[in-house]
């Protein structure tokens, strides 16, 4: 019996009220320590709840059903349904290629060998990487700047551009060219760096390497000991044994020449940390300057910088002439945002959300906040209806996805399935998605535009910039991810979009029969901008480059 089949048996025993004390302890321990197990348990409970009405004894009241003690339990499920459910779960886990059944996106630990801890002034020749990215085996090329790589073995590499560096495993890397400093604590002893000239085996130390393209390599040992072996073939007794204070130049033929050690040629860990902190402070200051300019953009309908204010449960729009666009915070918790000293809101519980009204500003004045009731004349009703007709929209947000633990994560959604109102989502496969229920009722199915997968295990826990623009005049719908256009579609209906009550990070008043009633976002939001116009790609790129937390 597989690990997941055994866990499914524990879940079934919990539902039936037949857990032994030992089994209860196993289940509680698994739920405390394993996020995947918790997600599976919730899905199992939801499925039992859906099936429960089919077999519960007629007239039996909730209070009459025995309650298991681990979590609030559901009604007793007949043995026939339990057997069917077990068969279904067995099919899910045993059929097809091995795959985590709890998320379509790759697990955060899949194929990773190191973490990109920080990047300062990084200019990439290969694909751009951001701080927090989990790195699989592969080659990275840095034209300029400094990056800090933390290998899962415990070794740290400070890589200075230009450099050509290859990750092989948690304790093996190749320096094709460039300069680096390696810090290898005792638990990571044996960490190895290959060059064309030598295999350098660290025995718990700190050393620097500089490899010239098509030239010699230099090794400077600052602490501990490094063994120098031939670059290929089996490991043989070391050709050289370099201890603290020694350095060597190794030519392409493998000849070793002693040279003076020079630690000042290689950046140290404190110097790298100071550079990273200074870079973050500078980027934070640049964003603040840009924020003051963006506030004056006439195309903005609402601008939330997610900075805490005196009203803890109020998310104020920075646009003073449009107070009706401020939002109400429900359940979310204030946390640290993209920079130290910057606020953000965290969405974790099923009820976490921000409520606001999406509308054009009232002509000629600041408008009336939606929360203040007043009598409506026919003219006022017509004016309000007109304010909710939006020819074009752009949503732009900085988000940190902590987990893709549901089929749909809501970024912005209208209440229910309101026709003509766009919904913006992340799917279980890590795709960005726009859903629009068409105004013409002869089309009951919603129109959907979906990108290729853009959020995978390397993006989990990182700050990402996402944007969506819709233009009913041109019919274009554009999806952006970290400043890049990743998908374009054509609207089926050119009539203006509709505003009204919407939510950030959740789905208000879902349709009762919808297959995915819970769509709460799992992560953090730091900045949201809503434009009454369709921004082009250069404008989206500017929002991304000025707002990203690391250069």
Q: Is the peptide bond before 162 cis (omega within 30 degrees of 0)?
A: yes
Q: Is 468 within the bounds of a domain?
A: yes
Task: For residues 328 and 307, give the distance between their C-alpha atoms in angstroms, rounded to a whole number.
Answer: 14
Q: Which residue range forms the structural domain that includes residue 139?
A: 114-267
Task: For residues 132 and 1, give the distance between their C-alpha atoms in angstroms, rounded to a whole number.
Answer: 37
Which one of 267, 289, 309 terminates a domain? 267
Between 370 and 437, name the one with better pLDDT: 437
Co-location of 506 and 470 in the same domain: yes
Question: Phi and psi dihedrals of 496, rounded to 5?
Answer: -55, 150
pLDDT digits (tens, 9 = 90+) for 45-95: 655 544 443 433 333 332 333 333 434 333 333 333 444 444 444 433 333
Number of domains in the chain: 3
pLDDT digits (tens, 9 = 90+) for 168-179: 999 999 999 999
Task: For residues 155 and 180, give the distance between their C-alpha atoms in angstroms, rounded to a whole number.
Answer: 13
CB atoms within 10 A of CB 255: 12
Please state, for a pLDDT cut of 90, what percent of the chain lies above it: 47
Task: For residues 7 and 25, give the distance between their C-alpha atoms in angstroms, rounded to a whole number.
Answer: 13
Which one of 43, 59, 94 terminates a domain? 94
Q: Is 75 within the bounds of a domain?
A: yes
Residue 361's pLDDT band, with cuts at 50, 70 and 90, is low
Co-location of 503 and 394 in the same domain: yes
| 22: three-class secondary structure by DSSP | helix
Cβ(443)–Cβ(437) below 8 Å: no
For residue 441, what are the contacts with CB-CB under 8 A and spacing of at least 6?
419
Co-location of 183 and 283 in the same domain: no
Longest dimension (CA), the chain: 93
Co-location of 283 and 240 in the same domain: no
For residue 539, what are the contacts with CB-CB under 8 A and spacing of at least 6?
none
Bridge partners of 242, per DSSP, are 226
Cβ(359)–Cβ(499) below 8 Å: yes
Which one of 63, 94, 125 terminates a domain? 94
pLDDT digits (tens, 9 = 90+) for 159-218: 999 999 999 999 999 999 999 999 999 999 999 999 999 999 998 889 999 999 888 999
Question: What's the DSSP call for residue 356?
Answer: E
CB atoms within 10 A of CB 149: 23
What burial class does residue 204 get, using C-beta atoms within 10 Å of its C-beta: 0-12 exposed, 13-18 middle, 19+ buried?
middle
Q: Is 99 within the bounds of a domain?
A: no
Between 494 and 440, name the one with better pLDDT: 494
Q: Find the CATH number of the domain harbouring 503.
A: 2.60.120.200
Q: Give me the chain's average pLDDT, please.
A: 79
Q: Find the CATH number of the domain harbouring 261.
A: 2.60.120.1440
Co-location of 26 and 167 in the same domain: no
Which token pair is 6? Answer: 């055994």
């Amino acid at each position: 019996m597989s690990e997941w089949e055994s866990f499914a048996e524990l879940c079934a025993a919990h539902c039936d009220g037949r857990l032994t004390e030992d089994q209860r302890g196993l289940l509680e321990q698994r739920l405390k320590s394993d996020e995947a197990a918790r997600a599976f348990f919730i899905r199992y409970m939801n499925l039992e709840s859906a099936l429960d009405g089919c077999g519960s004894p007629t007239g039996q009241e909730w209070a009459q059903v025995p309650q298991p003690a681990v979590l609030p339990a559901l009604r007793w499920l007949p043995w026939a349904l339990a057997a069917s459910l077990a068969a279904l779960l067995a099919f899910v886990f045993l059929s097809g290629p091995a795959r985590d059944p709890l998320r379509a996106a790759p697990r955060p630990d899949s194929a990773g060998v190191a973490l990109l801890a920080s990047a300062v002034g990084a200019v990439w020749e290969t694909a751009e990487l951001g701080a927090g990215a989990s790195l699989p085996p592969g080659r990275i090329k840095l034209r300029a700047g400094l990056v800090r790589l933390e290998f899962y073995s415990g070794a740290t590499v400070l890589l200075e551009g230009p450099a050509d560096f290859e990750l092989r495993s948690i304790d093996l890397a190749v320096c094709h060219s460039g300069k680096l400093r390696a810090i290898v604590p005792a638990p990571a002893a044996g960490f190895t760096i290959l060059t064309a000239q030598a295999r350098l085996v660290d025995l718990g130390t700190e050393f620097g390497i500089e490899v010239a393209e098509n030239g010699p390599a230099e090794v400077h040992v600052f602490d501990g000991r490094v063994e120098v072996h031939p670059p290929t073939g089996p490991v043989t007794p070391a050709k050289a044994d370099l201890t603290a204070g020694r350095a060597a130049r190794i030519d392409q033929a493998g000849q070793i020449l002693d040279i003076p050690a020079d630690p000042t040629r290689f950046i140290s860990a404190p110097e790298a940390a100071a550079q990273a902190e200074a870079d973050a402070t500078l980027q934070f200051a640049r964003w603040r300057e840009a924020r003051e300019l963006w506030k004056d953009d006439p195309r903005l309908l609402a601008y939330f910088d997610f900075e805490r204010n005196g009203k803890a449960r109020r998310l104020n729009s920075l646009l003073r002439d449009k107070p009706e666009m401020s939002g109400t915070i429900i359940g979310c918790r204030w946390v640290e945002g993209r920079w130290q000293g910057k606020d953000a809101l965290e969405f974790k519980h099923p009820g976490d959300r921000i409520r606001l009204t999406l509308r054009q500003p009232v002509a000629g004045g600041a408008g009336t906040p939606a929360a203040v009731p007043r009598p409506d004349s026919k003219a006022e009703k017509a004016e309000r209806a007109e304010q909710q007709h939006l020819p074009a929209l752009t949503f732009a947000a900085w988000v940190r996805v902590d987990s893709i633990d549901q089929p749909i994560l809501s970024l912005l959604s209208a209440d229910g399935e309101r026709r003509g109102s766009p919904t913006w989502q992340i799917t279980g496969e890590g795709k960005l998605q726009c859903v629009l229920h068409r105004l013409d009722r002869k089309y009951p199915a919603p129109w959907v535009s979906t990108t290729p997968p853009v959020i995978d295990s390397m993006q989990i826990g990182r700050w990402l910039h996402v944007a969506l623009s819709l233009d009913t005049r041109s019919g274009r719908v554009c999806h952006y991810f970290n400043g890049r256009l990743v998908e374009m579609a054509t609207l089926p209906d050119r009539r203006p979009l509709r505003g009204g009550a919407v939510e950030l990070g959740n789905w208000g008043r879902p349709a009762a029969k919808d297959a995915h009633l819970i769509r709460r976002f799992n992560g953090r939001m730091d900045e949201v901008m809503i434009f009454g116009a369709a921004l082009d790609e250069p404008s989206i790129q500017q929002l991304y480059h000025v707002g990203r937390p690391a250069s």
